[in-house]
Amino acid sequence: MFEVSMLISSVCGLLVAAWLLWRAQKQGELQALAGFAIMMAIWCFGHVALFQGYEQTGIHIILANPLMPTFFLHFAIRFVYSGTVKEAWLRRLAKTLPWFYVTSIAVVLQSWWVDAGAASQTLDTRSFFVFTDAGAFNLVYTILMGMLAHGVLLFGWYRHAGNKKRSILAMFGVGAWGLLLATSFIFPSLGISWFPYPMLLLPTYLLLLVYAVVRYQILSVNAFANRALLWLAMMLVILCLISVISVVSGRVGLQALANVPSWQLWLYSLLTLVVSVLIYQPLNRLISRLIYPGAVLNEQVLDTWSTQLKEAHDWTGLISVGERLLSSQIRQNIRIDVQNHHKDTLEEERALALIVNRSEQGWHSVLVGWNDASPGMRLTAEVFGSLFSTSCGLLERSLALAVAERKRLDEQHLVELGSLSAAVAHELRNPLNIISMAAYDAPPETRQHIQTQLKRADRLVSDMLVYSGGLALHKTMVPLRALVASIVAQSNLGEIECQLDIADTIELPADYQRVQQVFINLIDNAVAFLRNQAQGKLAIQAWQSNDAVVIQVHNNGPRIDSALTGEVLFQPFVTKRAGGSGLGLAIVRRILDAHEGRIFHRSDAGWPVTFELSFPLPMSTSADDIEPGAVPEIGN
């Protein structure tokens, strides 16, 4: 048993070392751990050589054990010296690693020179390694190197966090297990004639050590560990079951079974378990084909579905790819509807369809028209529907992120454009002032024409500064009637008739200067269209409704072209006014948005042109909750 265990440990060490070197990918700590596994494999093989009668070879191999903790020290330094842990003493220790290897090799050579080991015949007449008096230095040096390596790991556990800290803690647990197993190795050297049963479990030490290191770095190893643990648990269950059968079978009359050695029963059961594991997958596929004929579902098919569905970048593409994949798999034309609820129509048409809907719980799929389909086809469609629903959720989130990113870029572009507009507007002031001063010497008619165009340019510059600048609100309670009346009094109305229907008690929680700009722009626009029109009328009325102040500005000028109504009317540089900047209504809209209010054009208020504004009061929940209600009628 000991020889078999050492041989298994040796083979495991070589396999683990090969796997670590394959996965190392220039990771120094894994390469050092692979060296430790190789040295452990060689050390275990030395015991096998002893058992086979090659005493001198086995002794020399076992006396090379100082190289094992040296490789482990190399691994510990590399593992700890990473990330945020860059201690100077660790760097210096790493630079001295070649000297540690040289010293370990010197200790091994010295041990060979002084015959630090010998073979004992005390255990079942089989040779076993023991240290001589000259081998004490070899043993002490090996122990000190192991303590130094674990000291470095202890420092790493103190300084690191997260998965590194968890890995080091697991390594200490595995190290304690390894120390318990290796203790029996020195019993014969101390004169204790006791069979080293703990060393039979040495293969577990190496596997557990490597798993503790790589479980957080190489996630695929966890799946292997899961299967290995399942195997181990099943073998233990079989062992316990065989022990119970051996005890009970004789008492119930099964003497022939009771006479079979327990180890044979356990070996037969283990062989049965291995055969069962090997034939499980083929039998599972065969039974699935019998129960679900026509359904060919495996990891390759699922990976193909998942990969191609992820390549779709919009809903049309996703539906097209889904229909193609499912139709190809089932060999029938399949229709896929996303958020379609016309199931009755589909059933009447007897069409095979996959309906994918979104609810509060997420996306889910429903099969429609599959009553006559085979179980295999239904299973394939259900699995595909589940995968397609997941893809719908991923696409929905991807599109939402894309919209948010576009909005962010648009806002950034607007900020840059606003800064540029403000800079250009400021720079235009200087040449305009120079032109204005130079116009004083021009003839009166020319000077008047220049002054008219300068006023137009100055208004455009002012509007650009207002529109591109930031809106910092300083809210106060603004008396609405007094504000509007003062603006009307300062406006050049001429023959235009103006009516105000605003109660003296109405007050707005708003920025006085900004609200003043709103009414100046609206009244100037109206006057510009009414000035050359006979019997021009302007009416402004306000009332409080639904926790908001609603204001309507009417005029009987020409109706606004239907192509300009809606959101287009409030965009910059959209105007039909001669000499207008195209920024007046855009500025009004921006000021209303800053006050969490709203403005829109109405054609159903009994006037050719009506602009309705709403300013929410402090207790208002939302400006969108305000509905235009019945208002006092002002005659046109």
Which three-class secondary structure state does DSSP give residue 557? coil
67-80 vs 28-51: helix crossing angle, rounded to 10:
160
Residue 553 has pLDDT above 90, yes or no: yes
Tokens representing 58 are 């086995």
**Range 308-321 average pLDDT:** 87
Measured CA to CA, the distance from residue 636 to residue 634 in angstroms comes to 6
Residue 501, H or E segment: strand 497-501
Angle, alpha carbons 603-606-611 (nearest 5°): 50
Residue 305, H or E segment: helix 299-310
Cα→Cα distances 429→393, 425, 438, 581, 584, Å: 54, 7, 14, 16, 20
At residue 469 the predicted structure's pLDDT band, cuts being 50, 70 and 90, is low
**Range 350-379 average pLDDT:** 79
Tokens representing 173 are 């647990």
Is this model's pTM higher than 0.95 or not? no
Residue 442 has pLDDT above 80, yes or no: no
- What long-range pairs does 129-135 form, CB within 8 A, spacing at least 24? 129/46, 129/47, 129/50, 129/58, 129/59, 129/62, 129/185, 129/188, 130/188, 130/189, 131/186, 131/189, 135/63, 135/111, 135/189
Output Rg (C-alpha) for the chain, integer angstroms.
44
Residue 426 has pLDDT above 50, yes or no: yes
At residue 348 the predicted structure's pLDDT band, cuts being 50, 70 and 90, is very low
**Residue 541: what pLDDT?**
92
Distance, CA of 517 to chain centre: 47
What average pLDDT does the structure give for the chain?
Answer: 78
At residue 47 the predicted structure's pLDDT band, cuts being 50, 70 and 90, is confident
Residue 342 has pLDDT above 50, yes or no: no
HEC readout, 128-182: EEEECHHHHHHHHHHHHHHHHHHHHHHHHHHHCCCHHHHHHHHHHHHHHHHHHHH
99: left (phi over 0), alpha (psi -120 to 50) or beta: alpha
- β 353-359/362-368 pair status: antiparallel
**Residue 341: what pLDDT?**
41
**Residue 302: what pLDDT?**
81
Which three-class secondary structure state does DSSP give residue 612? strand
| Least confident among 165-169, 350-354, 391-395, 594-598 | 350-354
**Residue 105: what pLDDT?**
93
The closest alpha carbon to 335, from 375, 370, 290, 387, belongs to: 370
Residue 625 has pLDDT above 50, yes or no: no
**Between 606 and 422, the higher pLDDT residue:** 606
Residue 344 has pLDDT above 80, yes or no: no
Cα→Cα distances 240→40, 53, 236, 249, 259, Å: 32, 36, 6, 14, 17
Cα→Cα distances 57→6, 45, 138, Å: 16, 10, 17
Residue 458, H or E segment: helix 444-468
For the beta carbon of residue 518, count every other beta carbon within 10 angstroms: 28
pLDDT (tens digit, 9 = 90+) per residue, 185-231?
A: 776 666 666 666 677 777 777 777 777 776 666 555 566 666 666 77
Phi/psi for 127 (5° steps) reads: -70, 140
Domains of the chain, each with CATH number or no CATH: 2-218 (1.20.1070), 234-291 (no CATH), 299-400 (no CATH), 471-625 (3.30.565.10)
pLDDT (tens digit, 9 = 90+) per residue, 497-519?
A: 888 999 988 988 898 888 888 89
The closest alpha carbon to 321, from 395, 413, 256, 416, belongs to: 395
**Residue 623: what pLDDT?**
39
Tokens representing 602 are 């109405």
**Residue 539: what pLDDT?**
92
The closest alpha carbon to 260, from 251, 275, 270, 250, belongs to: 250
2-24 vs 202-214: helix crossing angle, rounded to 10:
20
pLDDT (tens digit, 9 = 90+) per residue, 585-619?
A: 888 888 888 888 888 888 888 888 899 999 998 76
Which three-class secondary structure state does DSSP give residue 599? strand
Measured CA to CA, the distance from residue 13 to residue 35 in angstroms comes to 10
Measured CA to CA, the distance from residue 345 to residue 366 in angstroms comes to 15
DSSP 412-425: HHHHHHHHHHHHHH
